[in-house]
Amino acid sequence: MTVNTTPNLLQFLQDDLAISTASLQVALKHSEQDPGPLPMILWQYGLVTLEQLEQIYDWMEAA
């Protein structure tokens, strides 16, 4: 598990941003094939909005 997929990040995504487990599984699967920051993968596949993406990066910076 990389820095981008820490349990705390996954919990934040589910609890604070209400990202579904299914959406996270899709993003994690894509990250195996095309490595990159999980937040960017979520955004590229339309699983989070640009506003949510900003919230994720703000959270990561503060963590």
How do the domains of the chain map onto residue ranges?
Answer: 3-62
* b (16+ CB within 10 A) / e for 24-63: beebbebbeeeeebbbbbbbeeebbeeebbebbeebbeee
pLDDT tens column, 32-59: 888 889 999 999 999 999 999 999 999 9
Per-residue pLDDT, averaged over 23-40, amounts to 90
Supply 5's token pair: 């997929």
* pLDDT given at position 5: 66
Q: How confident is the model at residue 9 (pLDDT cuts 50, 70, 90)?
A: very high
Q: Which helix (H) or strand (E) holds 14?
A: helix 7-15
- C-alpha 34/C-alpha 18 separation (Å) is 24
Range with the lowest mean pLDDT among 2-6, 14-18, 23-27, 51-55? 2-6
| Rounded (10°) angle between helices 7-15 and 21-33 | 140
* pLDDT given at position 62: 92
